[in-house]
Amino acid sequence: MQRAFRGVFIVWVVLRHGLDELVLSSFRHPWLRLLARIVSFGRRLDAPRGQRLREALERLGPIFVKFGQVLSTRRDLLPPDIARELARLQARAPPFPSAVAVRTIERAFGKPLEAVFSHFEQVPVASASIAQVHFATLKDGRHGGREVAVKVLRPNMLPVIEKDLSLMRMMAGWVEALSADGKRLKPREVVAEFDKYLHDELDLLREAANAAQLRRNMAGLDLVLIPEMLWDYCHTEVMVMERMHGVPINRVDELRRRGVDIPRLARDGVTIFFTQVFRDGFFHADMHPGNIQVSVDPATFGRYISLDFGIVGTLTEFDKEYLAQNFTAFFRRDYKRVAELHVESGWVPPETRIDELESAIRAVCEPYFDRPLKEISLGMVLMRLFQTSRRFHVEIQPQLVLLQKTLLNIEGLGRDLDPELDLWNTAKPFLEKWMLEQVGPQKLLQQLKDEAPQYAKLLPALPRLLHDFLSQRPVVSRSELQELLREQRRTNRLLQTLFYGGLGFVLGLIVMQVLVRVRLF
């Protein structure tokens, strides 16, 4: 019943804001344009189409607002007027009353607002679909006098999200049951992933933990700033963090006027993204312009400032290695290896012909190499790859949906900053270096170092384990015992060979490093 009421409400909002007319009027067929005029008869649709779309998404709630935020970064796929209007969703969703925010803060901390903050700005500095942010100054304690940003969760969010997710689950079930591609697309698993991340966003303690992890990961990169979380003032509904001073990244003219190197900023953004994905397997997955600023402080001038950590993505070691090998093969234009990786990972049926899949991937990707970002639409590339995947029955991987969304965000940001940016050649050296670290001698030495404590525990116990094993075995004949001894001798010789070979390999690496350093100096 709740799904039915929510469905009726969605249809009412669509008709109220004339979105049906908006869709029909975009077609070229005369009879569809005539139908658009008929359905709009008697309704006042004077507002611009971009405004109507934005207001409808705001009226429908946080899930639809997030959908509009993703769309707003794709200026290559949307008309300029719609893209400009949807960009207002990135940080200026309608705020909720400040009195409600104050009551939430006082309930979370169990004390009056004046006992926590010496100054609190009633007007929010930013308002998004899930929460809004107020600037304040802490009053007492070890952080007394410190300027902070206070993030407060919107009230009564859970029931609204549950209704929308329930509808999405129902629609996903229909797609899986009725569509020929239903099982391959895994719509219910994708909705389950979206469900997980949305519920994570409703817990500000979890968001604070995400921020702390990203801050540790990025500490040595010197390209991005992440605010410090003040744990004494963090709650599931309220999060207090270090206040950051920067310029929103979509104000390119102001950044250029302040002397920020815009092309370098675009390259740094690519580096940050690939570092988080492939080095750490833990990445900011909501990188629209409302969450990204650029520092103008002299000490950190030109660095990114990352905000809003409610949605982060994680990748397993298998996912990272698979994706890195795919990207590296793409950059080298080794389409055969890309096809082989799809078969090896189980993404396509094992009987798939490698040569046919290789040819299809080449036809999609080859036209886009060696071209600046302004001439490439990653959205169109993904659309063509999606069409190809249908032909070869490629299974959609739900755990990578967030990565795909974030990659589109990165492309949108890069396009706004530097249309001449070559996304492929900027990322290629990073991925090649990362792959070398994964399969080179440094990785081998690191793995040996990591496993050394386990070996140290196991070696003293080997005699006892061997005695226990032999004492449990039945009595063997003399011939069987002689055969066992011969096999043991062969095993000992093999282990000696491997030991001395490995020792020689390590010593060779050390000698090579010494020679390289002597040659450099």
DSSP letter string, 458-505: HGGGHHHHHHHHHHHSPP--HHHHHHHHHHHHHHHHHHHHHHHHHHHH
Q: Minimal CA–CA distance to 245: which of 307, 289, 288, 287?
A: 307
- Give the whole-angstrom CA distance, residue 276 versus residue 272: 6
pLDDT at 104: 94
- Give the whole-angstrom CA distance, residue 10 versus residue 67: 15
Q: Which residues contact 328 (CB under 8 A, 6 or more apart)?
A: 428, 431, 432, 435
What's the chain's Rg over C-alpha atoms? 29
- Give the whole-angstrom CA distance, residue 116 versus residue 105: 9
Q: What's the longest Cα–Cα distance across the chain?
A: 102
Evaluate if residue 36 carries a pLDDT over 70: no
pLDDT at 185: 58
Q: With pLDDT > 70 as the criterion, what percentage of the chain qualifies?
A: 67
- Give the whole-angstrom CA distance, residue 266 versus residue 422: 10
- How is residue 207 written in tokens? 């968001």
**209: exposed, middle or buried (Cβ count in 10 Å: 0-12, 13-18, 19+):** middle
**347: exposed, middle or buried (Cβ count in 10 Å: 0-12, 13-18, 19+):** middle
Q: Report angle CA 235, 240, 243 to the nearest 5 degrees.
A: 165
Q: With pLDDT > 90 as the criterion, what percentage of the chain qualifies?
A: 20
Ranges 18-22, 53-57, 256-260, 464-468, most confident: 256-260
What letter represents residue 83's amino acid? A
- How is residue 113 written in tokens? 């607002």
Evaluate if residue 426 carries a pLDDT over 70: yes
In whole angstroms, how far apart are CA 39 and each of 7, 15, 24, 31, 101? 20, 9, 9, 12, 41
Ranges 189-203, 214-228, 312-326, 393-407, most confident: 214-228
Evaluate if residue 521 carries a pLDDT over 50: no
- Give the whole-angstrom CA distance, residue 85 versus residue 49: 9
- How is residue 378 written in tokens? 């990653």
pLDDT at 140: 74
Evaluate if residue 425 carries a pLDDT over 90: no
Higher pLDDT pick, 6 / 513: 6
In whole angstroms, how far apart are CA 443 and each of 436, 437, 446, 447, 510? 9, 6, 5, 6, 15
Evaluate if residue 182 carries a pLDDT over 60: no
- Give the whole-angstrom CA distance, residue 325 versus residue 438: 11
**405, 70 in Cβ contact below 8 A?**
yes
pLDDT at 225: 95
- Give the whole-angstrom CA distance, residue 337 versus residue 343: 10
User: How many residues are present in the chain?
Assistant: 521
- Give the whole-angstrom CA distance, residue 308 versus residue 438: 31
- Assessment of whether the complete model's pTM goes beyond 0.75: no
Higher pLDDT pick, 69 / 277: 277
Q: Which residue has the tokens 């040659």?
A: 519
Q: Which residues contact 455 (CB under 8 A, 6 or more apart)?
A: none
- Give the whole-angstrom CA distance, residue 140 versus residue 378: 50
Ranges 291-300, 341-350, 384-393, most confident: 291-300
**294, 246 in Cβ contact below 8 A?**
yes
Q: How confident is the model at residue 440 (pLDDT cuts 50, 70, 90)?
A: low
- Give the whole-angstrom CA distance, residue 416 versus residue 92: 20
pLDDT at 209: 94
- Give the whole-angstrom CA distance, residue 66 versus residue 129: 7
Higher pLDDT pick, 378 / 8: 8
- How is residue 493 written in tokens? 């010789």
Evaluate if residue 520 carries a pLDDT over 50: no
Evaluate if residue 226 carries a pLDDT over 50: yes
Q: How confident is the model at residue 479 (pLDDT cuts 50, 70, 90)?
A: low
The catalytic residue positions are 286
- As a whole number, the mean pLDDT across the chain is 76
Q: How confident is the model at residue 143 (pLDDT cuts 50, 70, 90)?
A: confident
